[in-house]
Amino acid sequence: MTDLATTAPEPSAPPAAAPADSPVSLKRKLGRRYLRPALEAMAQQPRIQKYRLLSTCRRLSGTPVALQPILFVGPGEVVLGEGVQFGWKNSPLFYSGYCHVEVSNAGARIEVGDRTEFNNNLMLKSEGEGIRIGKDCLFGAEVQIFDSDFHELDPARRVGGTPRTALVEIGDNVFAGMGVKILKGVTIGSDSVIGAGSVVTKSIPAGVIAAGNPARVIREL
Which residues are identified as catalytic? Answer: 151
Task: Please enumerate in sequence order all residues whose Cβ is within 8 A of that of 91, keeping only pairs 6 or more positions apart, or say none.
Answer: 119, 120, 141
- Classify 17 as helix, strand or coil: coil
CB 101 within 8 A of CB 55: no
Cis check: omega of the bond before 15, within 30 degrees of 0 = no
CB 186 within 8 A of CB 149: no
The DSSP H or E segment spanning 65 is strand 65-66
d(CA 71, CA 94): 15
d(CA 66, CA 196): 23
